[in-house]
Amino acid sequence: MSRGSTVVCINCEEAISADARICPHCGELQPSPLLAALLAVLGVFAILVGFPVAAFTVGLVRWAGFAGVLVGIGLVFGGYTSYIDAQAQRSRRAR
């Protein structure tokens, strides 16, 4: 967002800076895309570790690798959609 833009607080609905993480009026923590990005990074890590484990091992460890890949895919898509939802919500609240 551009410098000086404002959004509405999720709690008290007062106008605050778009960069503010805590509302100066009511003290409510505003949503941050950082958590969604962290989930996506963890998902990519799980995929990068799980795929070689699944491809080059046998038995129960192979199944654990497959599970890691599936969990990683879920984390990537979940983090990405959470980020998109948060951005859409912030743009709807922007004034």
Phi-psi region of 43 (alpha: psi -120 to 50; beta: other; left: phi over 0): alpha
Residues 15 and 41 in one domain: no
pTM for the model: 0.66
Count of CB atoms within 10 A of residue 50's CB?
20
Written as six digits, the tokens of 38 are 């962290």
Per-residue pLDDT tens over the stretch 6-52: 888 878 888 888 888 889 999 888 877 777 888 899 999 999 999 99
Q: How many folded domains does the chain comprise?
A: 2
Q: Distance (Å, rounded) from C-alpha 61 to C-alpha 79?
A: 26
Residues 52 and 81 in one domain: yes
Domain for residue 95, yes or no? no
Domain for residue 37, yes or no? yes
Residues 56 and 42 in one domain: yes
Enclosing domain of residue 75 = 32-90
Instruction: Give the total residue count for the chain.
Output: 95
Residue, of 70 and 81, whose pLDDT is higher: 70
Residues 78 and 61 in one domain: yes
Residues 25 and 38 in one domain: no
Does the pLDDT value for residue 4 go beyond 70? no
